[in-house]
Amino acid sequence: MTLSEFVRLFPLRANNIAWFFGAGTSVSSGLPSANDLVWEFKRRIYCSEESYQLSLFNNLSDPALRNQIQMYFDSKGNYPSNNSIEEYSFYFEIAFPSPIDRSNYLMKQLQGMQNSYGHKVIGTLLKNNLINLIFTTNFDKAFENAAIEELKTMDKFFVATTDNSHTALQKYHSNLRPFITKLHGDYFSENLKNTSQELKEQDEKLREILYHSCLSN
């Protein structure tokens, strides 16, 4: 579909479209990417295990420092290879073994984030009933903030997370819209999903919401 076709057809089909957003929407708000976080985890682990001051490795854009850190982990033999898809969850869990610590770390990373232009557009579309259903794997509250900014209240939309999935399924079938589904929870969630073990199984109720939305949209 061309851009001009999308512009013509979107107003007619808006209520039947479910939107799925990944990490790129958070990066556009100035938050660190998964790759940035991987290197931060590596830096923390390396410095603590080798008794270096963190400040000595602040400049992670320096290839020499990255190479020094990576060589350390490569020497262990049973760690994920550089740029492996397993790195994020593997190093996150080593750096912060406790789910509570991982949640608190994410909360600190996300404090003070500003919605991007794209998030503001999403908020406007929500206000005008041109977006009714959002799915995201992100932990931040960008979409909630965008909705509140335009709708001025939380009473006009529902946010489903891993903590309220049973209620969320009922709200979804009651046709409460706009509806924002955070498939992996958010940084306040008790059941936050960000390690390989946690991600082996998706929350059944949130998965059912996604499944039904694909059938009906």
Q: Is the peptide bond before 32 cis (omega within 30 degrees of 0)?
A: no
- 138-164 pLDDT, tens per residue? 888 889 999 999 999 888 999 999 999
- pLDDT band for 202, please (50, 70, 90 cuts): confident
DSSP designation for 155: T
As separate numbers, helices (DSSP H) first and strands (DSSP E) second, the chain gives 10, 4
- 39-87 pLDDT, tens per residue? 999 999 999 999 999 999 999 999 999 999 999 999 998 899 999 989 9
Q: What is the pTM assigned to this prediction?
A: 0.81
Predicted confidence at residue 151, as pLDDT, reads: 93
| 180/34: higher pLDDT | 180
Contacts 24+ apart (CB under 8 A), 1-8: none
Tell whether the model's pLDDT for residue 23 goes beyond 80.
no
Q: CA 126 → CA 28, 130, 149, 188, distances in Å?
A: 19, 6, 11, 24
- 109-122 pLDDT, tens per residue? 877 778 889 999 99
Tell whether the model's pLDDT for residue 7 goes beyond 70.
yes
What percent of the chain is modeled with pLDDT above 90? 59
Q: What is the mean pLDDT of residues 134-140?
A: 91
Predicted confidence at residue 1, as pLDDT, reads: 81
Candidates 162, 192, 163; CA nearest to 98 is 192
- pLDDT band for 217, please (50, 70, 90 cuts): low
